[in-house]
Amino acid sequence: MPLKEKVKKIIDKEIKPALMRDGGSIELVDVDEKEGIVKVQLLGACGACPMSMITLTVFVERYLKAKIPEVKKVVLA
């Protein structure tokens, strides 16, 4: 399975529902398969939250790296 599909599956089934519980959401924008860089957009409450960078690095990036070792970094698009 391509990296982008793996990432999309984890985001849609595991990360997005967790963020939705707090009024936020996340959308996958792109995946650089060679570099392992995932680009996302934080939406809803997450998009305007001053803690969004912490959510991105401590939750989203760490979670994706643990589930998919090919992921090296998660950045905002």
* CATH number of the domain to which 56 belongs: 3.30.300.130
Using one digit for the tens of pLDDT, what is the confidence trace for 48-58?
889 999 999 99
The single-letter DSSP state of residue 27 is E
Identify whether the C-beta of residue 41 lies closer than 8 Å to the C-beta of residue 21.
no
Q: What is the pLDDT at residue 7?
A: 98
* pTM over cut 0.85: yes
Q: Identify the domain containing residue 67 by its residue range.
A: 3-76
Angle made by CA atoms 55, 9, 37, in degrees to the nearest 5: 55
64: pLDDT strictly greater than 90: yes
How many domains, in total, are found in the chain?
1
Q: Is the pLDDT of residue 67 over 90?
A: yes
* pLDDT per residue as tens digits for the range 5-33: 999 999 999 999 999 999 999 999 999 99
pLDDT of residue 48: 87
